[in-house]
Structure 1
Amino acid sequence: MATAANPALRSDPHHPEWQYLDLMRAIWETGSERIDRTGIGTRSLFGAMLRFDLGGGRMPLITTKRVYWKTATREMLWFLTGETNIRPLVLQGVKIWNEWPHAHYVRETGDAITLDEFVRRIAEDEAFAARWGDLGPVYGKQWVDWPTYRYGPDGKYERGPGINQVAQVIDSLRTNPGSRRHIIEGWNVAELDWMALPPCHKSYQFHVADGRLNCALYQRSCDVALGLPFNLWGGALLTRMIAQQVDLEPGEFVWMGGDVHLYLNHADLVGEQLTRAPSGSPVLDLVRRPPSIFEFEISDFAVRDYCPQAPLSAPVAV
């Protein structure tokens, strides 16, 4: 396989995107071939780390293919609402969660409608969306409404008030920046079986040093070709949003992966992307400071100096 990861072909050997390309190459060339949950098969390595400096507005926005950063941003804003139904995303033209509820609908009803028809019904029929568009208590639900339980006045165990982890972290960063407990956790063991997909990017920890906000994200499972470019943007975006809210400069974003893999049917994408070399340094501007992190809008984000190469597509494994 031809590869621009060869050091002799690197016009800018210090570009941070080489970390991503080197990980992709290592998985494809040395990863263990495994049968996975989807039945497609992967090449996989265990344990990886990428580090990105977010100073000066820089973002880990992949340039060796086009990454639709507005789509990823809309998803992040959806997480922060605590919403678990795909309909708000569908109405914005965001397609990244559609396959899971569609597959569930086909299994449960035996009605083998196409994905496009399913999505059209989600958009046009609110009752249908309420029944078939929900993903269960995924990401945002855990982030802003983690369930608690207590004994009620009648002595019975009952649901208590939800915990807004995002709001708590922002408050703790303001009042106790030296804490080692600035954590947003998505892995709620008690509710995993109710989720369409258990959280992949599961644990975020924040750290304050020298007036800068750092973030470490641990991802238990990562589709490096399709998912990781979105995950890098999303984690860095959340860091930038929180940093603005707590009056800190953005620091370092550290991504850590557990099972990092490439699907065997992504060979064409991998082969093409590894012939490309990164260039440029995309910058994100936050053009408004909303009263809270939960009041950001898509118009509050602007990207400069992003000149990606052509898009690359591959099938999503469900």
Structure 2
Amino acid sequence: MNNADKVYLEMCQTILDKGIFKEDRTGVGTYSLFGYQLRFNLAEGFPLLTTKRVPFKLIASELLWFLKGDTNLRYLLAHNNHIWDEWGFQKWVTSKDYKGPDMTDFGIRITQDEAFNKIYEEQMKFYQEQVLTNDTFAKTYGDLGNVYGKQWRHWEGSNGKVYDQIKWVINEIKHNPNSRRLLVNAWDVASVYEGLMQLPPCHFCFQFYVVDGKLSCLFNMRSNDVFLGLPFNIASYALLTHLIAHECGLEVGDLVYTGADVHLYANHLEQIKEQLSRTPRKLPTLKLNPAIQSVFDFNLEDMEIIGYDPHPVIKAPVAV
């Protein structure tokens, strides 16, 4: 059994066995634990889970979106990436400009009412088309506010000065690798408190560590949808570590995940039980285009996953 699937599945089983049921913001409810850590040796393979198919291109295009400093859904939609659609859609259907059918609690209702689900899909399709083609609409309802891309690349201080945290940390890794300050923070207090983000950052901080010519990364999550979200988060930070190690002339070391409120949504239990019944397979490897030197110059075609042979995808609703 590969270690990535092993430690992930052990975590899921622990939540099933010991998780406490809690009501939550979404109205779905979760089985939750507080405090959990996982470690992945990136030299053993790229940690793209094999007990269900995890779509690497969606993970890669989202990470590139972050690294561009972008916060508008247009880039993601242009790359057929829909993992953030529900949050932009929510912004639109709760606005004074929305005149369509009632979309209250759409995240729950689409799983319970087939007729409503059809109406929702029609409204979502219209929303996506408007973001892609209507500049005014996209600027207002396609932008998610001060989310990850803004914080990573355009952190604004109280003095009005803008800081590029990704460029800074790469420069520090190159020139001051023993620093204990190789850290990027997405938890902007003002943006969170003033509601300037459509979704406050779940993975709110990450830190790098260099030893023996290897780059390791630890990322922290305040809240984690373990079934749908965590497989994406693991692969995304693994990819980020590979990209920065590549630019800095380092090998990859460990990826460490630290989760605070780690939870399985109440409507994901059957899905996780299905995943737990599967036998893990060999991890794939990541190949990066050696001609690309800068993290900021990579495109999707410059990254390739080799030898990925997962079990089929397991679908589950997103709690918004």
Structures share a fold, TM > 0.5?
yes
SS at match of 1:16: helix
Q: Deviation string for 1:180-206 (max 9, x for gaps)?
A: 000011001111120000001111100
Give distance in 2, aligned partners of 1:185 and 1:289. 30
Q: Give the match for residue 23 of structure 1.
A: 11
Structure 2 residue 202 is matched with structure 1 residue 214 = no
Contact 1:245 1:289 in 2 (8 A): no
Measured on the aligned residues, the alpha-carbon RMSD in Å equals 1.2
Give distance in 2, aligned partners of 1:278 and 1:259. 26
Contact 2:3 2:40 in 1 (8 A): no
Name the amino acid aligned to 2:145: G
Q: Give the match for residue 104 of structure 2.
A: none
Give distance in 2, aligned partners of 1:281 and 1:66. 12
Structural mapping, 1:12-161, within 5 Å? 12=1, 15-55=3-43, 58-108=45-95, 109-112=98-101, 114-150=123-159, 159-160=160-161
Give distance in 2, aligned partners of 1:254 and 1:76. 18
Contact 2:165 2:184 in 1 (8 A): yes
Give distance in 2, aligned partners of 1:269 and 1:126. 39
Give distance in 2, aligned partners of 1:291 and 1:60. 23
Q: Give the match for residue 202 of structure 2.
A: 200
Identity across matched positions, percent:
42
Q: Give the match for residue 283 of structure 2.
A: 281
Contact 2:246 2:293 in 1 (8 A): no
Pairwise CA distance, 1:271: 1.7
Q: Give the match for residue 154 of structure 1.
A: none
Name the amino acid aligned to 1:41: G
Q: Deviation string for 1:20-39 (max 9, x for gaps)?
A: 00111111221000001101
Q: Give the match for residue 166 of structure 1.
A: 166
Give distance in 2, aligned partners of 1:139 and 1:289. 27
Q: Deviation string for 1:152-200 (max 9, x for gaps)?
A: xxxxxxx22x100010011011111100000011001111120000001
Aligned length: 296
> TM-score, with normalisation over the residues of structure 1?
0.90
Contact 1:27 1:43 in 2 (8 A): yes
Gap runs ≥5 in structure 2: 102-121
Q: Give the match for residue 260 of structure 2.
A: 258
Displaced runs of 4 or more, over 4 A: none
Contact 2:218 2:258 in 1 (8 A): yes
Structure 2 residue 203 is matched with structure 1 residue 189 = no
Give distance in 2, aligned partners of 1:213 and 1:290. 18
Give distance in 1, aligned partners of 2:133 and 2:176. 47
Name the amino acid aligned to 1:219: M
Q: Give the match for residue 153 of structure 1.
A: none
